[in-house]
Structure 1
Amino acid sequence: MRGSLSVRAIAALAVTPLLRLAVARYAVPAGTPNRTGCEGCGEPIRLGRAGLGPAARCPGCGARVGAPPGSVELAVLAALAVLALADATLAERAALAWWLGWVVPLALVDLAVHRLPDRLTWPAAAGTAALLGVAALTDSGPIPWLRALAAGIGLGLAFAATTLLLGRRGFGLGDAKLALSVGVLLGWYGWPVLVIGLLLTFALSAVVSLGLLLARRVSWSSHLPFGPFLILGTCAALLLTT
């Protein structure tokens, strides 16, 4: 068992350069072209080049590239723990693994620049829905899948509605697109799981926001990225209910 977990951990960590590449490319302010090179010396950022390892340093000038050192690796190990502990069939695990693979860079990009790029949110939603469709064909039948689609569309529209009605005080459209995949994943396991996931998400957001306010790290007018809370709340709901 330990050997199997070690193999999985090594395999998961092997994808971290790809995830680091995604963070480095997309962690730029809205309206800015995706990053293609080191901001210090222009060294190209692509797979096969140094600088996408745990140290996160450019080989040319030593500047930091993308996510903080070790952050992607820790996030991948946490995602692997969620995948290992969740009670799911093989097809469901494939859907969860797909979702986790996209939301790890999404969380880090949102923390860095407060945005959730379409190039990460859309594949997360589409792939999760498709793989759960496979699970419906092989294991569970159409009802959970139809419920998952309804939950994903409904949650995405609900988040988008706050943007239209409340402007900057509501959720961003990036949050709404992330909510699509969250709704699909939680809705697959039932409406109560979806509700629990949302309650945990807002509870985590409230506790962290209050802590930062008391520590005077933010003010009442500060805007905290919501994507990481949505991802953590989803993972917590899956671990507590499946």
Structure 2
Amino acid sequence: MRLAVARYAVPPGSVDRARCDRCGTPVGLDRPLPALGPAARCPGCRARIGAPPGAVEAALATAVAVLALADGPLGGRAAAAWWLAWAVPLALIDAAVHRLPDRLTYPAAAGVWALLGVAALAGAGPAPWLRATAAGLVLGAGFAATTLLLGRRGFGLGDAKLALGAGALLGWYGWSVLVVGLVLAVSLSALVGLALLAARRVHWSSHLPFGPFLILATALALLLAR
């Protein structure tokens, strides 16, 4: 997860990071520490690489807690585990550079769809899987429509791709859970935006990344669906 954040937390249109920005030391799984450990430091010049120290670990611990507390059949929880594993680096990347790379959003959505399909074949039946598929498509299309209609004032296409998996996961548990997740995401985004405005940390024209709020709201909605 730290490698994903370090590699993809670059401005849109930039080449994926494979080396330290300061000294050029290669960063990868062949040299995992300290750059990919909790210290998040380049092994050459000790500059910080990727997510802040402890951020990935704290997010992963939160995801594990959600899975431990969430209710439901094994198939739904397996899909949630898959999605959260991709959502942790996605949230940190979006928070850092306002980017949700396709290499993470597409596997997240495809895995959720496939695992829920297995759960349907294992006994849950086709109805919840069809609802989950429809929910993911509806939420993703709705987000994409705001981009086409409103431009920068709408959600980004990365948010729409993230919504494919989030919508399917929430739709598995019911349309009401999907609505709760969406309302939570928008509410959390609005509250944080107002707080940042009050603290004069952002301007009215600033654009907050929505991915972290959608991910957090999806996790909260899964807990409320118990």
> For the superposition of Structure 1 and Structure 2, which TM-score range results when normalised by the shorter chain?
over 0.9
The whole-number CA distance in structure 2 between the counterparts of 1:26 and 1:183 is 24
Partner of 1:240: 224
2:136 pairs with one of 152, 165, 171? 152
Instruction: Report the TM-score, using the length of structure 1 for normalisation.
Output: 0.91
The runs of at least 4 consecutive aligned structure 1 residues that moved more than 2 Å come to none
Q: Distance in 2 between the 1:113 and 1:88 partners?
A: 35
2-side partners of 1:190 and 1:121: how far apart?
22
Aligned 1:1-242 pairs, distance under 5 A: 19-49=1-31, 50=33, 51-242=35-226
Q: TM-score, normalised by structure 2?
A: 0.98
The one-letter amino acid of 1:42's match is G
- Measured in 2, the distance between the counterparts of 1:132 and 1:218 equals 40
Question: 1:159 is paired with a residue of what secondary structure?
Answer: helix
Q: Which amino acid in the other structure matches residue 170 of structure 2?
A: L
| Structure 1 unmatched runs, 5+ | 1-18
Which residue identity does 2:82 align to in structure 1? W
Q: Percent identity?
A: 72
Structure 2 unmatched ranges of 5 or more? none
The amino acid of 2:126's aligned partner reads: P
Q: How far apart in 1 are the matches of 2:3 and 2:42?
A: 12
Q: Specify the code of the residue in structure 2 equivalent to 1:89.
A: P
Secondary structure, aligned partner of 2:143: helix
Per chain length, whose mean CA-contact separation is higher, i.e. which structure has more relative contact order (CA < 8 Å, sep 6+)? Answer: 2
Instruction: Please say if residues 120 and 126 of structure 2, whose CA atoms lie closer than 8 Å, have aligned partners that are also in contact.
Output: yes
Q: CA-to-partner distance for each residue in 1:6-33, whole Å, 9 max, x for gaps?
A: xxxxxxxxxxxxx000000000001001
CA shift, 1:43, in A, is 1.0
Separation in structure 1 between the aligned mates of residue 75 and residue 177 of structure 2, nearest angstrom: 19
Distance in 1 between the 2:74 and 2:30 partners? 32
Shift of 1:48: 3.0
Contact 2:76 2:172 in 1 (8 A): no
Deviations 1:140-199 (A, max 9, x none): 100000000000011100100000000110110000000100110000000000001011
Per-residue deviation at 1:230? 0.4
